[in-house]
Structure 1
Amino acid sequence: MSEISEEDWKRDLTIILEDLTSAQYEKMKERLTDFPEVQKAGRSREKMPGKIIQLYGTEKSILEMERVMQEIPRMDNRIQKLLKPYVEKVRSKPEKQQDDQLERSQPVKKLKTRDSQDGKALWEKSIFDLKSSEILETEAIVGKVVKKSKLLTYDTKIKKGKFCFYLGVADETASVKLMVYGKDLHRRIKEGSSYIFRELIQDGKYVKVNASSSVSETKPVNVPEEFEREAERLVYPESPLTSIKDIKSSPPQTHVSVEGTVTEIYPVQKEKVEHKEKMTNQQRFKLSQEAEEISVTMWDEATKQSKDLSVGDVLLLTNMKPNEYCGKVSLNSTKFTKINKVQSVGIRKVTLKIRGIKKATLKETQLEVELDTKLQTLCVASRLLAKTLDFQLKKGFGDDLLKRIPLSVEAEIQGNRIIKMADPENI
């Protein structure tokens, strides 16, 4: 057996630590046993590998990192392909040599050997292992359901209208797409919960859960962010990034992603939607890209993603659906739409001119304002408006306010809301 090169281990340990997210790196430092707190706080990531090896020694540091990576957890192939060769070399040494080495360093937590292997019960298989080998009837996977598809119907030669759906499931090592049969399981299995999937069937490219399989809810499984995103994409692949110019000529049913700058935001409104008994939340804003501009409408739950947008924010919208009405193309949110802020302007300090009143209640007022040479609608708490402009807040106050406009105010705005106001004459 070849000796472990400290130089090689330091190089690969550096790569391992560089691959950790900030949160994972902090967890790693917290879980290092008998490591001086002052060293944890003051040591840069660049110098940390050398300090770890200096403190624990080469072989002990390998075992320590093996334990820590299990606890973070980072058991994915990208980390393990660097770490495992060193672990195997340490563990392949005669037992006495291992004990001598451990006596010269700090004790490490040993994994159970009677009923577990690599921190897992003997019946439990990681998703990474599942994807690289067959699963046996006596084995199971434990994972978090990151994404669940809608219920689908299919026909067989014997019966029509049977049900199935798809799950994006992930653990600390990888993600997998499961095909699940049955309407009852669709109701029982919830996104965000973790389950034990037993007696699975591997059929070609699919891993299937059928009537013979067992599904049991279990304690939460920690999943790295990269595998969460991967699990989402397995069920609902992200739509292609498309320019606004091309969207306007796309077929109406095509799902698209688009990047652009917010130029105008409208207040949330209640709209009556066909086939729904209750009124549905709706929020519109405009998105520009080079010389092109398009109207975007967020519906229902998707309006929660647009509540903190500001004019000037650069957004990436995924899985939007183009819609054409009276020859004009707009974008509508879907169940799978996501808003990602590429660049945020946050809170803006501006001077704006109030030109009109769109709606006025004792709780909130919608003002038509002139800002950046354009008219747009901004919302403000009526109490703040009354305090700034020194009028009595009472029923019908909008009529009195109309007599004073147009008027200019200094304001701080976030999204389509005025959060602070001051009358320039009183500053």
Structure 2
Amino acid sequence: MSAISEEAWRITLTVILEELDEPQYKKMLLFLSEIPKRVKTKSREEMPQSIIEHYGVETSIHRINEVMDQIPRKDAAVQDRLRPFVDKLKNTQQKTGKKRKRSETVLKSVDRKDEAGGQKSCEPDETAGPERPKKKKSRNRSLTPTRAKKTPKVSTVSEKEWKKALSAVLGKLTNSQYDEMLTFLKIPKQKKTAKFKEQLPQKIIERYGVETSIRKIKEALDRIPRRDEVVQKHLRPLLDKLKNKQKKGKRKSCQPDKTGTMKRKKKKAESRDPSLQSTQTAETPRAASASRLQDSDPSEPAELKLEEPDSALSLNGATKTPKGQRAPVQTGRIKIKAVTATKKTNTHLVVTVKRQLKELFVKTRLLAEALSCQMDESVEARIRDALPISAEAKMEGKRIIEIKKI
């Protein structure tokens, strides 16, 4: 019998399903492939009972937890209701695992005693006197170290507070910066209606969760770039809270073991997250493209793929090609989505070619001429304001040798 109340889980599951919009609900049913199609036609009110009947209480908690990560719905409206049941499930699994280990050790010890007793009975000792009862060693429990109970990880940042700050940040972006933000976050572009802009902060939090979405927005603002105080004043307090949480985690990880020595636990990948570094540091184009590849959402249809950055591509535009070989020249229509770096000689771009995202570079003078811009200090801002740019281009490997705006 499960230690988790079926009635409590059914009520909670009903509330969780009510939080899903229609596309998210259909995606959930698609992931629950073990349930027959005829059962999936039932109403939302009947579906929680059908899920529990099909999987059982504990397995249904595990499957729903997986599905919410895949949809994704990592916001507090879903996770705060789901987390207590996931934690209970982990605790019950740990207890059952310990009981099995204890029973196995008891059986082994009994077998050893039987073997030892059989050997001794064959060789009786006539000189041995009556056996003395062994004194039980009393253990002073006050001296034995107690293990600290693990508390569930709860975000230190309020979702309501972050949603308000995120709305303020998005409101300060220009149209081209807004589009670049959506491209980085892998959110499909739609008509920029008032309703879409109002719902966008909640969609971002649902996709990434509170803490991860803060880091993603930080990375996007560094790349656009928007490091001015108008935007950063909304983001900085929340980044500081994440930094403080990580520092507390490091202190707790240093605990004395039974011998009294200090053992440091393995550092988590989050503590080395570059998104929490100073706002003055900027990502290189290669590191930025790598982060986009790693943060890709498995539940999102892979319509656009970013090619692996060429190791021969450098910021100064020089390419290392084998002697006697040249990259093939291709001609076609491209769409410039974002600018990763701009220098006096070359500008590095993220473009779509035949529905694939690629990183190319072009001479800044050549791109400025195509946009009818003058080569001065404001050329980078003018290029960014013109995004997205549709053009006909002639490409040689990673280099654009000719470009004409259309």
TM-score by length of 2: 0.32
- Structure with higher helix content: 2
- Structure with higher strand content: 1
Identify the structure with bigger relative contact order (alpha carbons < 8 Å, sequence gap 6+). 2
TM-score by length of 1: 0.31
